[in-house]
Amino acid sequence: MPVVRIDMFEGRDRETKEELVKSITAEMVRITGCGAASVNVIINNVAKDDWGLGGELASTKFPDS
């Protein structure tokens, strides 16, 4: 049972996340030969205020993205 965990900034819409899950699942199946039903994709949406990069909050480094 492969588990793929993705941490990314919050704010993406449902359609984007659905496409990501579909694509990641298809690639896991292609590369590992497992069944699609066994692939788990977990998306952790993280606020920029809760993510640090190089000693700064991501909200400071990327205020508009």
Burial class (CB in 10 A: 0-12, 13-18, 19+), 28: buried
Output the six-digit token pair for 33. 């030969």
- Residue pair 39/5 in contact (Cβ under 8 Å)? The answer is no
Which member of 2, 4, 17, 57 is catalytic? Answer: 2
Residue 2: active-site member:
yes
Q: Any idea which residues carry the catalytic annotation? A: 2
